[in-house]
Structure 1
Amino acid sequence: MTATTLFTGTATAKGGRHGHSATSDGSVSVDLGMPKNGVLEPGKTTPEHLFATGYAACFGSAVEAVGGQKKLDVSDASVTVAASLQKSDSGFSLAVKLTLKAPALSKEQAQEVIEAAHQMCPYSKATRGNIPVELAVE
């Protein structure tokens, strides 16, 4: 099976977690920082925020696709991704908690949608087996 590239987003970072990152087309340009005592300097963001934003948007599209396939109302659904930087004896890693809020669905329907979307979403496919991803329904 041959894959067809639909879009490529390109970004360059300089200065690591205390530097700057921007996309080649200028659509994203951010100063990066590392929170101190849980507080991030105003006007800065983290790689975890950027990852969470992308994952939430991508997963939201998967929720919409699954809703359409299953003829379920996901029009008011929202996806929240909490991406955590973790440190252990073996080094740094990421963990994700993915929460689906779908007011028009029962808890069972929302659970069915989140699980199916997790199989479909490209971010979920990329992270599967690499980082812990917790699924939750609100």
Structure 2
Amino acid sequence: MTILYTTKVTATGGRKGTIRSEDGILDLKLALPKELGGMGGATNPEQLFAGGYAACFENALLRVARESGHRFADGDVEVVAEIGLSRNEADAFVLHAALAITLAGLDQAMAEQLVHGADAICPYSNAIRGNVDVTKTVRVR
């Protein structure tokens, strides 16, 4: 397998620390969310995962659409990722995800077909498949 891209991010201080990419472009403070007993006021791993998943899934969707002859304007596609944190039966922390996908200019069947195709090639979807419960809602406008 040929590696197409690699990056490194260093975390220090856990959920109350910082993260910094090797090139310095990503350099953020982290905070435990208020909902988990923290102070809030900074990003957290779940927000970062949600942002990455939404962006990656949208890009996969645009590729699948383009390959099937559909072109979208910037405002025609929206992917909202919601990442939740809970505990399983063994009291271990687990993630769950929900994707809300909105597409303009298609019928429902075609939109769902494109979303299915995007799910098949999105690296985030492939990484968590079988490990994280993911629900997808597809809406057309």
Please, what TM-score do these two structures have when normalized by structure 1? Answer: 0.90
- Contact between 1:82 and 1:98, CA under 8 Å: does it hold in 2? yes
Residues 62-90 of structure 1, C-alpha deviations (whole Å, 9 max, x = no match): 10111012112333211111111112342
Instruction: Output the amino acid matched with 2:70.
Output: L
Q: How is 1:83-98 mapped onto 2 (pairs within 5 angstroms)?
A: 83-90=83-90, 91-98=92-99
- Contact between 1:56 and 1:81, CA under 8 Å: does it hold in 2? yes
Gaps of 5+ in 2: none
Quote the RMSD (CA, aligned, Å): 1.6
Give how far 1:98 is off. Answer: 1.0
Alpha-carbon separation, structure 2, partners of 1:94 and 1:125: 15
Task: Calculate percent identity across the aligned residue pairs.
Answer: 35
Partner of 1:128: 129
Alpha-carbon separation, structure 2, partners of 1:105 and 1:118: 18
1:72 aligns with 2:70: yes
> Which segment drifts farther, 71-80 or 12-21?
71-80
Alpha-carbon separation, structure 2, partners of 1:58 and 1:73: 17
Residues 33-76 of structure 1, C-alpha deviations (whole Å, 9 max, x = no match): 1112378622x001011111111111111101110121123332
The runs of at least 4 aligned residues of structure 1 exceeding 3 Å deviation read 37-40
Alpha-carbon separation, structure 2, partners of 1:40 and 1:101: 33
Please, what TM-score do these two structures have when normalized by structure 2? Answer: 0.88
- Contact between 1:33 and 1:41, CA under 8 Å: does it hold in 2? yes
Partner of 1:81: 81
Alpha-carbon separation, structure 2, partners of 1:128 and 1:37: 27
